[in-house]
Structure 1
Amino acid sequence: MNILITGGDKPLGKAFAKHLGNKHKIFLMNENTLDITNRVETLRTISNINPEIVIHCDEIDNIEKCEKNENLAYTVNTIGCLNVAYSCYSLDIPIIYLSTNYVYDGKKESPYYETDNCTPINVYGKTKLAGEKLIQTLYNKFFIIRCGWLFGEENNFIQKILNNRDVPVFMCSNEIGSPTYIEDVCTAVDILLSTNYYGIYNCANPDPVNKSLWVKYILDCSNIKKEIIEIPQNYIPNCAPRPHYSAIETTLLKNCFNIKLPNWRERTKTVVANINKKPPTK
């Protein structure tokens, strides 16, 4: 299968290329080879390659950057998504769109289903939801995958925690969500590629967790003993709001595709072990 992947300079785009490259022909696009904010260029590029499916990963995923530059966030995350989706619609190519658990508002106290109302509270979530809605308005051959807190591969969250083992850790005390191993997202999408059960699917490793407890588990896996200082979100100046509760339910993914992902603890332990095997950087 010929697969075009946008966001080839992003951790998720790189992970898809690595995971799918052994059995599919991958066309990996980055901001230098495909400007998704340019509709004409996007249509021309996708038309010239003529892939059998497009995996759209390109985005601005920095929550704070989106909050500070709303126009840029909407240009890339929403208009860019529209341009990719329009090209897929025009060429009759299915699209897989990587979205986020931040489309939910965080007011529930139990994991969100795909059918729950989406009223995001930060600019990043709003721009991603707008992209989702544009895809659904344009076309019916889509998979929208809502992921939780991504980690693994070149996503550096765990690496960043371990690199700062000698400095205090300050964490927002009330965030509960779903850690999501990037490789498991790739495995799930690989299965979706051979189906036409289009729709919206949550994808995350099971069991909601407080983010500070997740960080504590990361440190414990490396036998690092130090205090995590929990602070309320409103004590952090100029911080983009995060939903208090953004854990997601993945029953639909299991029922439709028989995909059951391992617990986040197992995946976290694996990533930490792999990082600790690497020689220290100079």
Structure 2
Amino acid sequence: MKILITGAENPLSNYIENRFKGTNEIYSFTRNELDISDKNLTYEIITDNKPDILIHLDSMSNIDICEHDESLAYTINTIGTLNVAYPCSILNIPIIFLSTSYVYDGNKNSPYFETDKCSPVNIYGKTKLAGEKLIRTLCKKYFIVRTGWIFGEENCFVNKVLNNSNVSMFVCSTETGNPTYVEDLCRVIEKMFNSNLYGIYNCGNPSSTTKSAWVKKIFNYAGIERRILEMPENFLRNTAIRPKNSSLNISLIKNCFDIELPNWESRLSEYINDKLKNQ
């Protein structure tokens, strides 16, 4: 299969490219090579390569930077997605768009379904949701994957925590979500390659947890004793609001693709054990 990947400079894209390149023909582009804010260039590259499927990973994903530069966030996450979706719609190319669990407002007391109302509380979520809507308007063949708290790729949150284990750790005590192991995300994406069950899907490892409990597990599995300083939500200034609850119901993935994801604790334990063995 011929796969085109945007945003090849980021660690998640590198992981996904390496995961699929053995059995597929991969065309990956960094933002310097494919500036998705350039409509004509984006159209030219996609139509020239004519992939069987496109995985759109290029994104302005730093939530706080998005909040401070709303114009750039919309340029990359919304207009850039429009520029990618348009040639896909013209050539009838299926597009896999990595979205975010931050499209939900966080006020629900239980995990979100794909059909729940989206009302993002920060610019990052708003720009990604706008990108979703453009894909749904333009394209007939699309998979929108809402996910968050991804770990397993280089420079992921777990690695950042472990690399800074000698300093005090401040973590929000109330923010809830689903850690998502990157390999399981790839398993879901791979199922979509040969599927026509287009639509929106939540993706994360069950079950939900708080950010502080996740960090405690990271230290626990790594055998590190470290005090976690828990803070109330949005305690720090100059940071974007995070939804209090971004946990996901993932039953649709199981029902549509016959795939059951393992719990995040087992995946985290495996990942950290592998890291320790390879040190």
* Band the TM-score falls in, shorter-chain normalisation: over 0.9
* Cα distance in 1 for residues equivalent to 2:146 and 2:155: 17
Structure-to-structure mapping, 1:71-150, within 5 angstroms: 71-150=71-150
Aligned to 1:193: 193
TM-score (ref. length: structure 1): 0.97
Give the residue type in structure 1 aligned to 2:124: Y
Inter-partner Cα distance in structure 2 for 1:223 and 1:118: 39
Distance 1:115 1:235 in 2: 31
Q: What RMSD in Å do the two structures reach over aligned CA positions?
A: 0.9
Report the alpha carbon displacement of residue 166 of structure 1 after superposing the two structures with TM.
1.2
- Does residue 57 (structure 1) correspond to residue 57 (structure 2)? The answer is yes
Distance 1:277 1:33 in 2: 37
- Work out the CA distance in 2 between the residues paired with 1:48 and 1:104: 36
Q: 1:169 aligns to what?
A: 169
CA-CA distance at 1:225 after TM superposition: 1.2
Report how far residue 20 of structure 1 moved: 0.9
Deviates more, 1:265-274 or 1:204-213: 265-274
Structure-2 separation of matches of 1:123 and 1:274: 36
Q: How does the TM-score come out when normalised to structure 2?
A: 0.98
2:207–2:264 contact (8 Å) kept in structure 1: yes
Shift of 1:274: 2.3
CA apart distance, 1:239 = 1.1
Distance 1:262 1:7 in 2: 28
Give yes or no for contact 1:102–1:120 (8 Å, CA) kept in 2: yes
| Aligned counterparts of 1:177 and 1:29: Cα–Cα separation in 2 | 30
Identity %: 51
Cα distance, 1:139 vs. partner? 1.5
Cα distance in 2 for partners of 1:164, 1:35 equals 33
Asked if structure 1 preserves the Cα contact closer than 8 Å seen for 2:178 and 2:206, the reply is: yes
Q: Which residues in structure 2 correspond to 1:33-72 (within 5 Å)?
A: 33-72=33-72
| Paired residue type of 1:229 | L
Structure 1 counterpart SS, 2:144: strand
Q: Is the 8 A contact 1:111 1:249 kept in 2?
A: yes
- Unpaired stretches in structure 1, ≥5 consecutive residues: none
Task: Write the deviation string for residues 151-184 of structure 1: whole angstroms up to 9, x where unpaired.
Answer: 1122421111111111111111110100001111
Unaligned 5+ residue runs, structure 2? none
AA paired with 2:2?
Answer: N
Give the whole-Å Cα distance in 2 for the aligned partners of 1:240 and 1:10: 22
1:245-260 aligned at under 5 Å gives the runs 245-260=245-260
SS of 2:234's partner is: helix
What's the CA shift string for 1:182-203, capped at 9, x where partnerless?
1111111111101111000011
Contact 1:73 1:124 in 2 (8 A): yes
> Residues of 1 paired with 2:119 and 2:266: CA distance?
32
The Cα of 1:32 is off from its aligned counterpart by 1.6
For these two proteins, the number of residue pairs brought into alignment is 279
**Are the aligned partners of 1:56 and 1:96 in contact in 2 as well (CA < 8 Å)?**
yes
Query: What per-residue deviation string (whole Å, max 9, x for no partner) do you get for residues 205-263 of structure 1?
Result: 01010110000000000111121111113320111000000000100000011111111
